[in-house]
Amino acid sequence: MTSSASAQPPSPPAPATDAGALGERVGVAVGWGGGTVIKPPFSPAASPVIDAAMVRALELARAAGAAGEVPVGAVVLSLEGAVLAEAANAREAEHDPTAHAEIRALRAAGAALGDSHLDGCTLVVTLEPCTMCAGAIVLARVARLVLGAWEPRTGACGSVRDVVRDARANHQVEVRAGLRAQESQDLLTASFADRR
Ligand SMILES: [Zn+2]
């Protein structure tokens, strides 16, 4: 359920500066999430490339919502910031419980690269990924996840659990949250209201 997604992180983020360059990596920190440093919300000014990807992801989410899906959209950027793939949630259209925007975008990005590993890539998604998608993000070795709204009920990137920054896995993902969170939240709220 996505009706209660929030623009607020579930736990206070560690103070850090926000350089925002594509491909930038941060050091591993011990503490909440067990993985990379939690950075403050990503501002549109920090990276116009990532912000443009989020704007596109929101467009995809809006279209999906109009088609009766839960409105979630995702875009995969290469290390250089090129759009490799984009997708929206298509569970209802495809009668596929795994057809989340992130899974569909990762599959398309792998096909575009000709590689099952998306080293150096950034996944931009309008809502905090679920456990399934977070697992796929780790398997794909995505370098960075930029999410819009937090999903406090099912989110697996810092809310309910933190799959992408689990220090026990052989890959950890840098997470930035809160980019255009209110726009994502507004889509979800409108979608939920339409269903009642
Ligand atoms: Zn998912």
pLDDT tens-digit readout, 57-78 = 999 999 999 999 999 999 999 9
- How remote is the CA of residue 56 from the centroid of ligand 1, in Å? 18
pLDDT of residue 38: 54
CA angle at 74 for the pair 78 and 100, rounded to the nearest 5°: 125
CA–CA dist 53, 47 (Å, integer): 10
**Which protein residues have their CB within 5 A of the ion that is ligand 1?**
100, 130, 132-133
pLDDT of residue 63: 98
Percent of the chain beyond pLDDT 90? 73
- How remote is the CA of residue 17 from the centroid of ligand 1, in Å? 29
pTM of the model: 0.81
- How remote is the CA of residue 132 from the centroid of ligand 1, in Å? 5
> Mean pLDDT across the stretch 145-157?
96
Q: Residue type for 174, please?
A: E
94 labelled catalytic: no
What residues contact 88, with CB distance under 8 A and at least 6 apart? 60, 61, 63, 64, 69, 71, 72, 73, 74, 101, 104
Catalytic residue among 59, 86, 94, 102: 102
* Confidence check: pLDDT of 24 > 70: no
- How remote is the CA of residue 149 from the centroid of ligand 1, in Å? 14
- How remote is the CA of residue 116 from the centroid of ligand 1, in Å? 18
pLDDT of residue 13: 42
Q: Are strands 144-149 and 73-77 parallel, antiparallel or unpaired?
A: unpaired
